[in-house]
């Protein structure tokens, strides 16, 4: 992906059923977009839970944006059940 990623462009591409691969730079831009649109959600999550893994933070951001387990699983090349289980563990650890 190039030319920047925003939450709107990501959602559009997912809705169109496109295969998406996000680079680390894309994730950084997406995090900035999420922070801007959702009142600093990712920044608050990082500050409240400094030990959170990068992948877990990304999954939390995508869930907050309203993506389904299936959509998130496709982005990370995982099974939807794996994403669901990971979110359950995160809720327990972080009280999300």
**pTM for the model:** 0.83
CA angle 55, 29, 58 (to 5 degrees): 15
Q: What is the mean pLDDT of residues 35-59?
A: 92
- What confidence tens digit (pLDDT) does each residue in 50-86 have? 989 999 999 999 999 889 999 999 889 999 999 999 9
CB-CB contact of 61 with 50 (8 Å): no
Tokens of residue 27, six digits: 């994730």
Residue 88: Cβ within 10 Å count: 11
| Closest C-alpha among 26, 25, 24 to residue 9 | 26
């Amino acid at each position: 992906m190039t030319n920047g990623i925003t939450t709107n462009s990501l959602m559009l591409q997912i809705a169109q059923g496109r295969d998406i691969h996000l680079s680390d730079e894309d994730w950084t831009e997406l995090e900035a977009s999420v922070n801007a649109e959702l009142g600093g959600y990712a920044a608050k999550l990082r500050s409240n839970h400094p030990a959170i893994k990068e992948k877990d933070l990304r999954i939390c951001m995508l869930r907050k944006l309203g993506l389904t387990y299936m959509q998130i699983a496709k982005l990370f090349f995982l099974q939807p059940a794996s994403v669901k289980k990971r979110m359950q563990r995160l809720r327990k650890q972080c009280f999300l």
